[in-house]
């Protein structure tokens, strides 16, 4: 994996390979991102399930609920 370095003053670009420490940090960052995304996805799914259950309990559709709340 490589890293693109851009000098904003001169516009010069340099491409170099990541060192071991940078590769390790990238793996940590990716794992943290995936864990956070999994949590957010689970929360979104739980909210959607709860919303669907409530609408079913009330016997109305999402469109009808929007009309009631507008």
pLDDT of residue 65: 93
Q: Is residue 62 part of a domain?
A: yes
Q: Is residue 1 part of a domain?
A: no
Structure tokens at 61: 């559709």
What are 46's strand-pairing partners? none
Q: How many domains does the chain have?
A: 1
pTM: 0.65
- What confidence tens digit (pLDDT) does each residue in 34-69 have? 999 999 999 999 999 999 999 999 999 999 999 999
Q: Is residue 3 part of a domain?
A: no
pLDDT of residue 38: 98
Give the domain range for residue 26: 20-69
What are 6's strand-pairing partners? 13
């Amino acid at each position: 994996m490589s890293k693109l370095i851009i000098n904003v003053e001169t516009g010069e670009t340099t491409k170099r390979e990541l060192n071991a420490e940078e590769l390790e940090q990238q793996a940590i960052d990716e794992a943290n991102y995936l864990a956070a995304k999994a949590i957010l996805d689970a929360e979104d799914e739980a909210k959607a399930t709860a919303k669907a259950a409530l609408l079913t309990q009330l016997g109305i559709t999402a469109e009808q609920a929007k009309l009631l709340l507008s």
